[in-house]
Amino acid sequence: MKTIDIGPDGMAPHIARFDALQPKKGNYEALGIPTEAYEMLTAKTLYTLLAPGDAAGSHQFTAVKGPPGLSITIAECPPGDGPMLHAHMETHEIFFCLKGRFELLWGDEGQHRDVLEQYDMVNVPLGVSRAFRNITDENALLFVVIQGTNQNDIGYAKSIGDEVAEKYGPDVRDAIEEHTSMKFSIGAD
C-alpha cells in the first residue's frame, strides 16, 4: 500500500483554526436575511468546521470541505440561547456538550426535557423535533455533528415561518427557505 505526501501546503485546506473561523450569521445579510432573523431560528453563533465539498444551504460557509454526508459545527450560545424546535428527517444530529450545560427539549411541543452536562452527548433519532438551550450564566459551546446524505433537511413548524414573516416580513421568510437548508413545513398541510 502506497501513501501520499501532500506537505504543509497540501494539508492547510484540511485544517480548521478556531480563531480564524467566521460565524455563519454574518453571511446571510447579502441574501436578504437579517442576522436577527437567522439567530431567531439557530444558535446565536455557528462555526461550521467541516461540510461536504458540494454543500449548499446553511452548510455552504465552511472552513474545511469534507466528505459527503458529514457536517461538523460548534454552536456558541450565550445564556438562554439556542435554536427553536426543529427536526431532521434524513440526517442524524449528534450534540456533544463542550462547555456549560444545555437543556435538551424534544417532542412536537418540546414537552420532554433533559440536561446535557459538560462532555455529555446525545444522538437524536431521525424525525424527532428537538431544541437545545444554554442554561448557564456564561457562553456555552456545543459540538454538533450532522450525518446523512441530505444535509438540507431542517424542518420547522409552519407557525414558526409565520412568526418570522410577521416579525421580519414574508420576503425574509422566503429568503430563509431559498438560501438555507431550513423549511417551514412541519405540520403544514
57 or 152: which leads in pLDDT: 152
pLDDT of residue 107: 92
Q: Which CATH number fits domain 23-186: 2.60.120.10, 2.60.40.10, 3.40.190.290, 3.40.50.1970?
A: 2.60.120.10
What pairs with residue 102 in β-bridges? 116, 134
Crossing angle of helices 158-168 and 170-179, rounded to 10°: 130
What integer is the mean pLDDT of 46-74?
Answer: 83
List of residues 6+ apart from 107 with CB closer than 8 A: 128, 129
Q: Is 181 helix (H, G, I), strand (E, B) or coil?
A: coil
Choice among 2-11, 39-48, 54-63, 80-89 with the minimum mean pLDDT: 54-63
pLDDT tens digits, one per residue of 66-118: 999 999 999 999 999 999 999 998 989 999 999 999 999 999 889 999 999 99
Domain segments of the chain as ranges = 23-186
Average per-residue pLDDT for the chain:
89
List of residues 6+ apart from 95 with CB closer than 8 A: 102, 104, 116, 121, 122, 124, 132, 142, 143, 144
189 or 121: which leads in pLDDT: 121
Surface-to-core class of residue 78, CB atoms within 10 Å of its CB (0-12 exposed, 13-18 middle, 19+ buried): middle
Contact present, 73 and 114 (Cβ < 8 Å): no
Strands 92-99 and 130-134: unpaired
pLDDT category of residue 23 using cuts at 50, 70 and 90 = confident
